[in-house]
Amino acid sequence: MIEDFYSKAGVSSEEEENALGSLIKWVNATFSFRDKIGKALLPIGFFANVIDTSLGIGIAISTDGVGTKTLIAELLNKYDTIGIDCIAMNVNDILCVGAEPVSFVDYIAVNKVENAKIEEISKGLYEGAKLANINIPGGEIAQVKEILHDGENSFDIIGTAIGFVKPDKIITGDNIENGDIIIGLKSSGIHSNGFTLARKVLLSEKNYDYNMLLELLTPTKIYVKEVLALINSISVKGLANITGEGFLNILRLTKNAKYVIDELPEPMPVFKKIQEKGNIPTREMYKDFNMGLGFCVVVGENNYPKAERILKDIGADFLKIGYVEEAEEKSIEIKPLKLKSTGKEFIEI
C-alpha cells in the first residue's frame, strides 16, 4: 500500500481522506446558499467547478498550491520558476471542464519579506501568466513567521484561477463512448506532485545530486495552448490533469467506462531514480506520479486524425496512449505494465 511509503515520509493518506470527507460534507451544504446567479453547476470532485452567472456564461474556478516543491526551491535558493508551477496547477485544472483560463490571484506567505526572493517568485508568476495567456489582477503577501518555523527562507505559495465556459459546453466526460481515443500530452518532469515522497527518497543521503534537485524544479507544464486548440476545433469528450493521484485522475471523468492504456512513453530519469532508490513498486509510481504524461484528452475515434494534425501543427509533444471500452463501472487498465485500477489503487493483473 502507498500508505506505507507515505507514512514513512510523514504523510497519512488515510487521515487525509477522512479529513477530506468531513470538509466535503460541510462544503456541499453550502450549495443551497446560491440559486440561479452563483449556483454551482457541478458536484464536488471535478478538477474545477463552474458557477452560473445566468448570463449564458459560466465562471470556472479552481485553487491550488505548489506544496513541498517549495522546499526544493529553498534548498537551492532558486525561486524564479515556482510561480510558473502555481499558475500551472490552477489553469490546468480549469481546462479540465472545457473552460478558458483568464485570470489568477496569488497568495505568498513568507517568514521574512526579502525583495530579491519576491522579485524571483514574481518573475515566475509573470512567465506562467504569459504561457497561460492570463492576467494577475491582484494578490497577497503575508508575513507569518509564527506559522513558518523552518528558517528565514520558508515560504508558501497558492493561487486561485478563474476561466469562462458556456454551461452547455462544460466537459465532464459524460458523453464518452466505446472506441474513443485517449491522447496523452507529455509532461516536463515530476511537475508539482509527489514531492514529499520524492524528497524522502532523493534527500535520504547528505551527498545528494545537485543536478537531480535542479531537475525537480523544472516547472510544471502549462497545457492551455494545446487544450484550447483542440476544444476550439473539435468535439473533446474528456480532459484529465494527471496530478497527485497519477493516472487514477482519469477516473474523475463521469462516464462509467474502461480506460485502456496500451502505449506509454519511457519514464524520465528522475522517475526511475525515485523508484530505484525508494524501492517503490511500479503500481505505486503510476498512482502518485505522472510518469511522463501530464494531461489526457479523450476524443472520438473519427476526430482523432484532426486532433493529431492540430497538435502536430502547434508543436505539441503528445502520444496516442489508449482507447475507451464500454463497461458498467469505471476502471483503468495499463496493458504494458499489466496493471488495473481497483478503488484508489493499482494492482497487478
Residue spans of the domains in the chain: they are 34-169, 181-348
What band does 67 get if pLDDT is binned at 50, 70 and 90? very high
pLDDT attached to residue 211: 85
- Backbone angle region of 43, left / alpha / beta, with phi > 0 → left and psi within -120 to 50 → alpha: beta
3-state SS class at 49: strand
pLDDT attached to residue 20: 87
User: Which residues face 60 on adjacent strands?
Assistant: 50, 163
Q: How far apart are CA 1 and CA 136, in angstroms?
A: 41
> pTM higher than 0.85, yes or no?
yes
Tell me which of 3.30.160.620, 3.30.1330.10, 3.10.20.340, 3.90.800.10 is the CATH number of domain 34-169.
3.30.1330.10
CA nearest to 218, candidates 63, 80, 96, 94: 80
Half-sphere exposure of 282 (CA within 13 A, CB side): 11
CA nearest to 237, candidates 261, 255, 217: 255
Q: Which fold has domain 181-348?
A: Phosphoribosyl-aminoimidazole Synthetase; Chain A, domain 2 (3.90.650)
Average pLDDT, integer, range 140-169? 91
pLDDT attached to residue 9: 54
Report pLDDT digits (tens) over 22-56: 999 999 999 999 999 999 999 999 999 999 999 99
pLDDT of 1 higher than 60: no
Distance of CA 324 to the CA centre of its chain: 22
- Give the alpha-carbon dihedral of 293, 230, 128, 243, to 10 degrees: -30
Report pLDDT digits (tens) over 197-238: 999 998 876 667 788 889 999 999 999 999 999 999 999 999
**Residues 247, 287: contact at Cβ < 8 Å?**
yes
pLDDT attached to residue 153: 80
pLDDT attached to residue 17: 80
What band does 59 get if pLDDT is binned at 50, 70 and 90? very high
